[in-house]
Structure 1
Amino acid sequence: MNFSVESEGRISSVDIDVDTFVVCEKREASAAEVHPANSSEPQRDLPASSWKFHRVAATRLRPTRRLECLGSVSAGAIGYLLMRHNDHLYVGVGSDHDDPVLARENPALSKQLFDKPCSQSLWLLNDVERHWSSLELHARIHEKGMMVTYQRALLSDLPSPASMIETFSLYDSLENGTAMFVGSVPVIGAVRTTDRFSFSMFDPQLNRTLSGSYYVVCLPVRA
């Protein structure tokens, strides 16, 4: 895949062959984790080690303006993307589009069924790592004739790239040609379908944005 990379005011082009794609999913806390023994205070955040790593076909990750889905119950979900290429780490933004109903029964299958749209542009992680927590994620959906905010978060609300890479190293390593999607941003209101989904990552310190959007085309379940 060909991406544009903005770094130090310059824009370059890079071809990245992704052969391993991993989608990270936050494991729901058990009652014991939410209310730890011998403690009156709830545990608000689970450690990064409580994340699941779903291996998804590498061809599912791609910049696209059109996403075809079987049926009409799927939904998008914003997150950040890490990609390692030629020993450099790149940052992007995208959508973990899946079936929220199927995800409760068979999350691995749900992750595999849909393309994962991503931004056509990337940043070098080195350029944003020092102010990572200030980066902002925004997702919008088309609803009642207008685009409305669907998800919003600071990157400080999600585990850092270093934390996710360290946790992933318990199972595998983030080698060249590997892409990792990290999401689990709460939605505003209920999880719902839409015919258009847009996503962006804003860097307030360098005043720049990564973004993408796609239309959802629902295919009939029966011919």
Structure 2
Amino acid sequence: MLSFAITAADGRVERLPLAVTRLVIAGWTGRDKAKLQEHIDELQALGVAPPVSTPIYYPLSASLLTQDDAIQVLGAGSSGEVEAMLIGTPRGMLVTLASDHTDREAEAYSIQISKQMCQKPVARAAWWFADVAERWDSLTLQSRQDGAVYQDGDCTAMLPPLEIVRGACGAEELPPGWAMPLGTLPVHGGIRGGDRFAMTLADPKTGRTIEHAYRVERLEMAG
């Protein structure tokens, strides 16, 4: 069960517990084809085969979602990716912030398995999607790894959110209980891991932000 402090357009805050029953990762959602190719090239440098088509939707275990301050991973070969995430509710969609933390070594032979191997940290705050939908492209995303800027950009980097939603479920909204990260930004300095991953989703019009950070605890490989 996840729990969110939801800030409405008028500034009121309510707490809402949510049970997510289906997690779908939207991959290869870049709007700019040149920048999308840049991300594909980043992963190809790590031995990851390019996608046959884009975007791609990866169903994963909903239990991977966590709002804890730390995750545990096997070895040193994983890293985070900042993403805006939509969640379907009976009252409409929420937007929050998530990290599609991924095992980069497993990614070389299966992207879906590499994503399934890692928990997905999620922020504890959210907004109603309807409140920001008209200015979606102005929202900004940033991640910082061990204090240094790792990713930085705005939501124009990804396809429009409703286009991604339609591709996943054939409707204008995610069904209640669905959660879907919408894609990520290119990284500065190449894909790499770290001990602490911090991320921010910002709305320049209101000055509001959603933030989350987590530690990466590495488990030793037994052999």
Give the aligned partner of residue 39 of structure 2: none
1:10 corresponds to which letter in structure 2?
R
Where structure 1 has 5 or more consecutive residues not aligned to the other structure, the ranges are 29-41
Pair 1:79–1:43, CA change in 2 (3 A): closer
Give the aligned partner of residue 108 of structure 1: 112
Once the 2 structures are TM-superposed, how far is the Cα of residue 157 of structure 1 from its aligned partner? 1.1
Give the aligned partner of residue 89 of structure 1: 93
What is the CA–CA distance in structure 2 between the aligned matches of 1:213 and 1:27, rounded to whole Å? 24
Once the 2 structures are TM-superposed, how far is the Cα of residue 84 of structure 1 from its aligned partner? 0.6
Pair 1:204–1:21, CA change in 2 (3 A): same
What is the CA–CA distance in structure 1 between the aligned matches of 2:28 and 2:170, rounded to whole Å? 16
What is the CA–CA distance in structure 2 between the aligned matches of 1:212 and 1:25, rounded to whole Å? 21
Contact 2:29–2:159 (CA under 8 A) maintained in structure 1: no
Q: Point out the structure with max Rg over C-alpha.
A: 1
The TM-score with structure 2 as length reference comes to 0.86
Q: Secondary structure at the match of 1:50?
A: coil
Give the aligned partner of residue 127 of structure 2: 123
What is the CA–CA distance in structure 1 between the aligned matches of 2:206 and 2:200, rounded to whole Å? 15
| 1:71 maps to 2:75 | yes
* Number of aligned positions between the proteins: 203
What is the CA–CA distance in structure 1 between the aligned matches of 2:14 and 2:136, rounded to whole Å? 22
Q: Secondary structure at the match of 2:20?
A: coil
- Per-residue CA deviations over 1:117-157 (Å, capped at 9, x if unaligned) read 01100000011011111100000010xxxx11000111011
Residues 1-223 of structure 1 mapped to structure 2, 5 A cutoff: 1-7=2-8, 8-26=10-28, 44=34, 50-142=54-146, 147-170=147-170, 174-222=174-222
2:6 corresponds to which letter in structure 1?
V
- Per-residue CA deviations over 1:163-209 (Å, capped at 9, x if unaligned) read 111111359x8311000011231000111110000011010001100
2:196 corresponds to which letter in structure 1?
R
- Per-residue CA deviations over 1:20-76 (Å, capped at 9, x if unaligned) read 001111189xxxxxxxxxxxxx96377xx7111111111101212011001111001
Pair 1:170–1:71, CA change in 2 (3 A): same
What is the CA–CA distance in structure 1 between the aligned matches of 2:174 and 2:14, rounded to whole Å? 23
Q: Secondary structure at the match of 1:175?
A: coil
Contact 2:27–2:57 (CA under 8 A) maintained in structure 1: yes
The TM-score with structure 1 as length reference comes to 0.86
Pair 1:71–1:132, CA change in 2 (3 A): same
Where structure 2 has 5 or more consecutive residues not aligned to the other structure, the ranges are 37-52
What is the CA–CA distance in structure 1 between the aligned matches of 2:210 and 2:176, rounded to whole Å? 22
Pair 1:213–1:156, CA change in 2 (3 A): same
Give the aligned partner of residue 31 of structure 1: none
What is the CA–CA distance in structure 1 between the aligned matches of 2:68 and 2:148, rounded to whole Å? 21
What is the CA–CA distance in structure 1 between the aligned matches of 2:169 and 2:69, rounded to whole Å? 33
RMSD of equivalent CA atoms: 2.1
